[in-house]
Amino acid sequence: MNFTAEAIAEFLKGEVVGDPKIEVNNIAKIEEATPGTLAFLANPKYNHYLYETNASIVLINKDFKLDKEVNSTLVKVENAYESFASLLELYQQSRFVETEVGISDKAVIEKSAELGENLFLGHFSIIGNNCKIGDNVKIHANVTIGDNVTIGNDVTIRSGVNIYYDSVVGNNCYIHSGAVIGAEGFGFAPQENGEYKKIPQVGNVVLEDHVEIGANACIDRATMGSTILKAGVKIDNLVQIAHNVEVGSNTVIAAQTGVSGSTKIGKSCMFGGQVGLIGHLKIADGTIFAAQAGVSRNVKKSGEVYQGTPAIDLRNFQKSSIYFKKLPELVKQIEALQKEVNSLTE
């Protein structure tokens, strides 16, 4: 599908500088773009590519000042990064609109399930007993929806997802391939003979509106009550959320992070990759954990940044890392001083 510069500018409420009739049919990085593609410039370190790129159209910020002429047609917008994200969403929708329709004759739907309008259901997917599926839901191939699951409107579930019984998925959620929602939490009671007895996990998982779950992420059901991801939470690939965890609204969690049971995370937090949290913690709103932070205590003050294992205040960590790098040198100095003290003593 082709889009002209003036059509893009109208959609983004931007301004065209150059040929308003020039067309694009694909998107590309500014440094790799070819004629017929659209690119964007938001990071200053890529500014020089604007004068070299072969992109037909480039999105730039309105306050960007040109050093010289460019060959591309420019569309000036308030925020090039956000505008490009909006175009990507439109582009993705246009790609799949023709294929994501109808219900496969190879799918299984239990008679007691309630289905909304405009359902797309792919090959070999299963909808269990007493499920309630909202309008405009897209369920791709090989998805299993367990009994008594409720799914809201405008939800997309990619292939291979498994949503266990009693789970609740809100409106406008997106669940990527291989994710498991509602598996039993890791609960075992030690016995006198050294064995472990399984503790039944009888709660569920609740995903509120606008939640996104990455590929192969696991959100465990609660022992009792609910494991809850509140509105706007974004979970990356390969993330583990344990039983009875609560994640506050608009919190983002990067890949390979693990959150242990019953931890309560505030709203608008940011977790880097491979962060680990022990159980039963309380994390204040707006907390940021840098990649590979190991969190073993509560965070009571909002808006703090932590790094390292055990996680400490970022500035403290940065100062400590300077000394850590100098440890071999400091050890040599201490050993030399010790020798000198010993000789003076003798």
Contacts of 303 (CB under 8 A, 6+ apart): 284, 285, 286, 287
> Which residue type does 118 have?
N
Q: Is 48 a catalytic residue?
A: no
- Chain-centroid distance, C-alpha 291: 14
C-alpha 162/C-alpha 183 separation (Å) is: 9
Whether 253 and 236 have beta carbons less than 8 Å apart is answered as yes
- Residue 231 CB neighbours (<10 A): 17
- The residue among 272, 315, 316 whose CA lies nearest residue 294 is 272
DSSP state of 163: E
161: left (phi over 0), alpha (psi -120 to 50) or beta: beta
Whether 257 and 276 have beta carbons less than 8 Å apart is answered as yes
Active-site pick, 140, 176, 210, 243 = 243
- The residue among 124, 173, 116, 117 whose CA lies nearest residue 145 is 124
Whether 240 and 259 have beta carbons less than 8 Å apart is answered as yes
Residue 322, both tokens: 């300077």
Catalytic residue numbers, as ranges: 243
